[in-house]
């Protein structure tokens, strides 16, 4: 058994919106992703996918994309990204999985899911508010996402795990390394590993990776990781 992560699949199977318009790096990316995934992930492994799963606008449009994900080896834990417009309530999402017999997929929001003795949790996050120029709507979303992070971590704690790993879609900390509401919660709760996505075609100087105040940050966007799921632990 092993735990992997990869984000921002941006699957275009249900709707015709391939990512190669964003550069040659995305050419044939679905085929490359599938080949890489099948070469390293086994049926008893778990893969966390923190957001931007499908270009579909509605759940029924996303069925081919989820059928593709379900066909891949391993259990998949999926959380929301900023482009996942198909995302709805957890009850509707779970009904969708059951109706379509997507048995290898589980959704995560406001909760935690166990992998062995490790609790997997997190939330979408939101853009860094910076120096006060954010809109009131941005502030409301930011505060809501902080609340969801707290709910998810609290749910993780009820399992008394040996470790908690947190996943975001948006980067939870900016390159200036100034404390955010998200990084503050990670530090206060003793989280030592945090993974995120969202960034594409990102230059090294625009990415936060490595340890900061006891938390190791990793970017796991598809294109950044060469469409290869990143192994986190056995």
pLDDT tens digits, one per residue of 191-202: 999 999 999 876
Residue 182 has pLDDT above 80, yes or no: yes
- Binning pLDDT at 50, 70 and 90, where does residue 206 land? confident
**Which of 8-12, 95-99, 123-127, 202-206 comes out lowest in average pLDDT?**
202-206
**Which of 42-56, 123-137, 163-177 comes out lowest in average pLDDT?**
123-137
Angle between helix axes 136-157 and 181-188 (nearest 10 degrees) is 20
- pLDDT tens digit sequence for 76-99: 999 999 999 999 999 999 999 999
- Binning pLDDT at 50, 70 and 90, where does residue 132 land? low
- Binning pLDDT at 50, 70 and 90, where does residue 135 land? confident
What does the pLDDT read at residue 203?
Answer: 65
Residue 67 has pLDDT above 70, yes or no: yes
Contacts with 223 (C-beta within 8 Å, 6 or more apart), sequence order: 8, 25, 26, 29, 200, 201
What does the pLDDT read at residue 130?
Answer: 62
- Binning pLDDT at 50, 70 and 90, where does residue 136 land? confident
What does the pLDDT read at residue 175?
Answer: 87
What does the pLDDT read at residue 3?
Answer: 98
Task: Please say whether the beta carbons of 76 and 33 come within 8 A.
Answer: no
Q: Which fold has domain 3-233?
A: Purple Acid Phosphatase; chain A, domain 2 (3.60.21)
């Amino acid at each position: 058994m092993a735990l992997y992560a990869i984000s921002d699949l941006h699957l275009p199977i249900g709707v015709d919106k391939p990512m190669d318009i964003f550069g040659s790096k995305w050419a044939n990316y679905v085929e490359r992703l599938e080949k890489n995934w099948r070469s390293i992930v086994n049926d008893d492994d778990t893969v966390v996918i923190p957001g931007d799963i499908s270009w579909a606008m509605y759940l029924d449009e996303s069925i081919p994309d989820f059928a593709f994900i379900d066909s891949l080896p391993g259990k998949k834990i999926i959380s929301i990204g900023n482009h996942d417009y198909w995302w709805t309530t957890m009850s509707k999402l779970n009904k969708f999985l059951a109706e379509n017999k997507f048995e290898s997929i589980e959704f995560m929001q406001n909760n935690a899911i166990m992998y062995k003795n490790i609790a997997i949790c997190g939330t979408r996050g939101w853009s860094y508010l910076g120096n006060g120029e954010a809109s009131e709507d941005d502030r409301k979303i930011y505060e809501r996402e902080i609340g969801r992070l707290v709910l998810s971590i609290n749910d993780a704690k009820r399992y008394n795990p040996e470790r908690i790993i947190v996943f975001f879609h948006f980067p939870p900390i900016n390159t200036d390394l100034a404390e955010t509401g998200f990084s503050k919660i990670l530090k206060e709760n003793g989280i030592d590993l945090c993974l995120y996505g969202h960034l594409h075609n990102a230059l090294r100087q625009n990415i936060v990776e490595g340890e900061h105040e006891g938390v190791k940050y990793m970017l796991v966007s598809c294109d950044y990781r060469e469409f290869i799921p990143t192994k986190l632990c056995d």
